[in-house]
Chain A
Amino acid sequence: MDFKAVRENFFKGFVKENPLFVTVLGTCPALAITTKVENAVGMGIALFFVLILSNLLVSLVTFRPKLRALVMPVRIPVYIVLIATLVVITEMLMEAFLQPLYVTLGVFIPLIVVNCIIFGRAEAYASDHKPLESMVDGAGMALGYTMAIILISLFREILGAGTITIWAQGNANVVLDLHFIYDFLGIAPIDMFAKPVGAFVTYGLILAVIAAVSNAKAEKAKIAAAGVKK
């Protein structure tokens, strides 16, 4: 595997195959927890850990032909055991070391077990690729997802609360207060964006922008191709 292929494999999750904006996977937590940037970062960290390791483990148990022959008939229960173990470990570590974040993310941490991105990558990629390639894929997808939920939460927190809570765990309290902008404009933050409906509106708007840009690109390519033919 050359460097270019590794780079392509890693970056495909950022834009081209972004799990949230292109393949529209893992939307439940993305809509539920994106009230603060900090939540998105926490969810991203949890998913990053689980996705990289689940891809690695799935690849390890399916990579060697002998082991693959044993595992493939029961691959779904095997994936569930592997992913659930990793999620429970993540949950325990978060409860011990990032307790406030653990409380905020609540049920969405154990629900990573049934996150479509994890299963999707295990079945569609890790089960057919080498361990290292699978880890790179997992890292790229997790970072792509994290960037996507950070984007949504930035939008929602700025408009809904007038703040950007980057990290407020333990003694750290990195919160940017943007109320001065609202004061300057003489308006208040829009509560709706902090509520579930705000999540849907934000997600819909971002998807619309992405669709518009990719349609425009496709149109341009079509015109260019037609021009070449002439």
Chain B
Amino acid sequence: MSETVLDVRDLHTHFFLRRGVVKAVDGVSFSLRRGEVLGLVGESGCGKSLTALSLMRLLPKGGARTIKGEVLLDGENILERSPAAMREIRGRRISMVLQDPQTSLNPVFSIGDQLREALLRRHRAPRPQLTQESVEALRRVEIAAPEQRLGQYPHQMSGGMKQRVVGAIAIAGQPAVLIADEPTTALDVTIQLQYLKLLKRLQVETGMAILFITHDFGVVGRMCDRVAVMYAGRIVECGPVRRIFEAPQHPYTRALIASVPKMTGPIGRLTTIEGQPPSLMDLPVGCRFASRCVQAEPRCLEAYPRTVQVGREHTADCWKVVPA
């Protein structure tokens, strides 16, 4: 159970623009075990999505390059594989669900076409068999009357249904790792919960590992086994969900958890974090959170803190934390 399926080491993905280098992912390390759900949490622009795209090696056009680090999938560094070999890996060993279901499906092909195409990646089978498998794939993601749905086009479905189809496509190749990049952000709140339950069920059934990217701590609590908190291109704290909720160590994590609205207790103003994250083009030499940190000391501005083991499987990048 504790076997590592995905090991990301010191990943650097930067945007090389005419006006400078944007260090969007700047030394990210984490590992994912078989059958585990790891949450990757952080605010907009902290590099979560770019980390995911780096793992898929599908970086956006316009100067983004992974310049350093290793992505070990079952021990094999996929950053070194040829583009053709990488295509064999995508969909079958590592796959991804995108944020916006409205634009994730090709509007001019039927659901059946798009599913069969994904299923063909698993094995070459005659069309009737693929159609039968498509029906099963849709049933698995809890779509009613799947036989009728196959002939339909994306615009004939609701957002929640489309996202379930995207899910079915993503796991059609039976990947060992699924990256879910804010899959519920674009859905209605009531549909969100259904989708999360579905994803969790699929994860338990298939035993795949999920890297779950979100900015919502509520979702983390529901979905994840462990959580990694990202800030300005780096992971600042990582640990089991319970530990992070009960005893967050990094001041940023503490501030984030404090800013989650509570449904109990007296009604007051929401807690916020003062200031802005640093520019990814001009990062400070010291701790990246120092300028907003209430506990910052001179040494926090001078050097980036080392990663400290603060508990079992629990690490934090902060000068002030006490090693376990």
Please determine whether chains A and B interact with each other in the same assembly: no
- Seen from chain B, the residues whose Cβ lies within 8 Å of a Cβ on chain A are none
- Seen from chain A, the residues whose Cβ lies within 8 Å of a Cβ on chain B are none
